[in-house]
Chains A and B, each alone.
Chain A
Amino acid sequence: MDISQYLEIFIEESKEHLQSLNESLLELEKNTENVELINEVFRVAHTLKGMAATMGYKRMQKLTHDMENVLSEIRNGNIAVTAELLDILFQCLDALEQYVESIIESGSEGDKDNHKIINKLNAILEGGQDNTTVTAEVAATAEAIAIEPVQDSLPSQVEAAVSDADKRQHLQMSFTDFEKNAIQKAYLENFKVYGITIFISEGCVLKSARAFIVFRTLEKLGQVIKSHPAVQDIEDEKFDDRFTTFIVTKENMEKITSELRSVAEVTDVLTDEIIIPIEPVEAAKEDNQQKSTRKKKTGTKDSNAKATGIKPKTNRTVRVDIERLDTLMNLVSELIIIKNGLETIELKNASQNFNEQIEYLERITTNLHDAVMKVRMVPIERVFNRFPRLIRDLSRQLNKNIELHMSGEETELDRTVIDEIGDPLVHLLRNAGDHGLETPDVRVQSGKDPVGNIHLRAYQDGNNVIIEVNDDGKGIDVLHIKNKAIKNGTISEDQADSMTDQEIIQLLFRPSFSTAEKISDVSGRGVGLDVVKTKIEALGGDIEVKTEINKGSKFIIRLPLTLAIIQALMVNLGDEKYAIPLNTIQNIEDVEVAHIKYIQNQEVINLRGHVIPIVRLHEKLDIEEIDPDRQSLTVVIVNKGEKQAGIVVDSLIGQQEIVIKTLGKYLSNIKLIAGATILGDGEVALILDINTLV
């Protein structure tokens, strides 16, 4: 069956499901008892499984299937939702996202099996069942491997044995087929396999360094075949006070144990010889062989598919509001009508009809242009919705309690901007979490709530979209940056003295400038901020920082609506036309010149109790007024936040939907003008930047 035609639907729907999975999991983390949420997560996993199966994505199917098993146990109340479980579910989500990414890029789900995650899921399942049912059941399941421990010392007391066995984490591990094969081979060559759980003292400062030494020691003695957590995670210090490894060696158990115990800050080492009974291994081997032949078969099939060119490859897709598509469709049909009309015009008395048709055509194409542009607009929600997860991971990673508050997800931006803005925002959020926010104890000391807050806001401000990343942390220490910059030789001391605080903060955006004493794996404030700035400037925007010691910092990104469409009021000033964004306009008033008063030499009017300053646009824009002596002025009342102003114009043209274009780099410093738009007749009209006028 040719499934490629369903691929795009599959991708879009998968993305949606993964998003809802993400949201449910985050919610579940806050409220682990909520059955509704568990049902929702289960439903998503189930749907994804069905979808993946239909499309022939076996690995994705397997993963969701195992997820489903675990989730169903949770639903039945056999397993409780724990932090570890959620971690694994989040890992599942990541893995699924990777599959979908890979499918988007190449049409195939890739060859990652995600054994680790599946094993973890199964381990949970086995653990859960262990508590309720007899072990025989476990033995009965084909996948289960019995590990028979040969203990290095016989415990004298039963209680001791229980707690000891509990500590021997390596006994609870399961092996993948590959690992089983390796162990099997080791046996044949008279090697022994030991499972070791190593405990590191709680006060240890550099756990990863200790772990590194432990691994070095182990590597001298034999070969490490498996560790839990994975070596990478251990190096990243992603473990508590213990970790487990499996080693293939010819040395005896005592030697290994004593060598490891001699490593500083290792409090305890528990070692067991691991013996995997021959039969299940054999069975597994056979199974493996079968699998591999099967794999080969499917492999050839795949290559056949490639050869015949069936292999589907997708482009990036956009989901479009059906109403917008309808508009587009209607416009295209009108276009066809005009085309037909033009074809049937008789040349003899053409001019009348011809002109009519051309005018019609003009109108339609302008609308068509607008409609296509609108299709490109997507709510920024698309970018924002991955951030709750990011913050969750970040707060765990940093051991800080961070709460993310988002608003303005519905703000629309051009598709191209949406695609690009994600990375800079991730960087700023990480920055805020890592460097902006203090650790809970420091926060408490400085009289703050231990929970740190990061606000992410998006809103449209005139012809810009503003995105703010705001933390309530310690703020940026200007003095610190200054000293660092002098030390680095970025600036001289003389220069430093003459620089304003804002200028010094701007140093953060210099390439490879970091103030962090210790560069963490999350980020260093400054490291990469130059990249953020470059990216945003490439999008035609700019970034600004506001900071206050002990109150927090705020990064403000201002993006122009490069391809955006807004409603605007077109006005005449002299013989020029200008556009005023409709969302800044409050109302339009006719004001008698006689009613204008002066306050500190500034013209104001008293409008229903509000004193509003008058802005003479003619003067601001160097335009000659058509009728300087007129007694009644047309005043457009605009507002910027709380502030209001009355703008004097010559006359109104009317409301119009306009496509915003920038004036380009060379004219970017003209403050009064926010951009330009092309009118129906091809003329350019400038868009007033109300922010700078008020």
Chain B
Amino acid sequence: MEEMNQAIKKFIVASIGHEQYGVNIQYVQNIERMLSITRVPKAPYYIKGVINLRGDIIPVMSLRLKFGLEADEYTHNTRIIIVKLDGNPMGIIVDEVKEVINLTDDAIEKISKDANDEKGIYVQGVGKIDQELVTLLNLDGLINTND
């Protein structure tokens, strides 16, 4: 069990505004520069539309909109992280991709699930690395929950 606890997980750290978010690397397919997005009418508010990724049509969501922040402003740092859950790809727009970090389970603070906190389902825990804190995203809750 000791060893299990010490298993290392890799996260991609991306920033949105002043906050840092971690995406478990096992779901990440690739990271793309900003691509032209085609709006999809009647899609959920946080879905910006679809992109053409080398012949594949992939929906793209805005974390900012999902988290109730101000709309994205695309810069040359803006990236789309393509994640794949149960075989279904989804693009996530972030302000910037910073680095890849290794976290042991010890360094991950679990967040107690509060049913009243809607945002709680988007977050899996908080990663501590040196002095920094990284919000670890729960992709399943993030992508499969409509609100």
A676 to B56 Cα, complex, angstroms: 10
Q: Which of A621, A623, A661 contacts B57 (CB 8 A)?
A: A661
Most buried by B among A665, A666, A686: A666
**Pairwise interchain contact B41-A621, C-beta atoms closer than 8 A:** yes
A467 to B45 Cα, complex, angstroms: 34
Beta-carbon contacts under 8 Å, B39-65 to A: 39-43, 47, 49-52, 55-59
A684 at the binding interface (Cβ < 8 Å): yes
Query: How many residues of B are counted as interface, with CB atoms below 8 angstroms from the partner's CB atoms?
Result: 21
Q: Which of B41, B42, B51, B88 contacts A666 (CB 8 A)?
A: B88
Comparing A129-137, A225-233, A667-675, the segment that makes contact with chain B is A667-675
A694 at the binding interface (Cβ < 8 Å): no
B36 at the binding interface (Cβ < 8 Å): yes
B102 at the binding interface (Cβ < 8 Å): no
**Pairwise interchain contact B36-A683, C-beta atoms closer than 8 A:** yes
Interfacial chain B residues near A621, Cβ < 8 Å: 41-42
Q: Which residue of B lies closest to A369 (CB)?
A: B55
Q: Which residue of A lies closest to B90 (CB)?
A: A666
Beta-carbon contacts under 8 Å, A518-557 to B: none
Q: Could you tell me the dominant secondary structure of chain B's interface residues?
A: strand
A576 to B37 Cα, complex, angstroms: 11
A686 to B38 Cα, complex, angstroms: 8
Interfacial chain B residues near A665, Cβ < 8 Å: 88
A255 to B71 Cα, complex, angstroms: 94
Interfacial chain B residues near A203, Cβ < 8 Å: none
**Pairwise interchain contact A667-B47, C-beta atoms closer than 8 A:** yes
A163 to B42 Cα, complex, angstroms: 80
Interfacial chain B residues near A686, Cβ < 8 Å: 38, 40-41, 50
Q: Given known contacts A667-B47, A682-B52, is B57 in contact with A662 (CB within 8 Å)?
A: yes
**Pairwise interchain contact B55-A678, C-beta atoms closer than 8 A:** yes
**Pairwise interchain contact A620-B88, C-beta atoms closer than 8 A:** no
**Pairwise interchain contact A666-B57, C-beta atoms closer than 8 A:** no
The distance from the CB of B55 to the nearest CB of chain A, in whole angstroms, is 7
B120 at the binding interface (Cβ < 8 Å): no
Interfacial chain B residues near A576, Cβ < 8 Å: 38-39
B143 at the binding interface (Cβ < 8 Å): yes
28 residue pairs from A and B, CB less than 8 Å apart: A620-B41, A622-B42, A661-B57, A662-B57, A663-B40, A663-B50, A664-B58, A666-B59, A666-B90, A667-B50, A667-B59, A670-B42, A671-B42, A672-B41, A672-B42, A673-B40, A673-B41, A673-B42, A676-B38, A676-B50, A678-B55, A683-B38, A683-B52, A684-B49, A684-B57, A686-B38, A686-B40, A686-B41
Seed contacts A576-B39, A663-B40, A683-B36; 16 additional CB < 8 Å A-B pairs: A576-B38, A620-B41, A661-B57, A663-B50, A664-B58, A664-B89, A667-B47, A667-B59, A673-B41, A678-B52, A678-B55, A678-B57, A684-B38, A684-B50, A684-B57, A686-B41
User: Which chain A residues have a beta carbon within 8 Å of chain B's beta carbons?
Assistant: 576, 620-623, 661-667, 670-673, 676, 678, 682-686
User: Which chain B residues have a beta carbon within 8 Å of chain A's beta carbons?
Assistant: 36, 38-43, 47, 49-52, 55-59, 88-90, 143
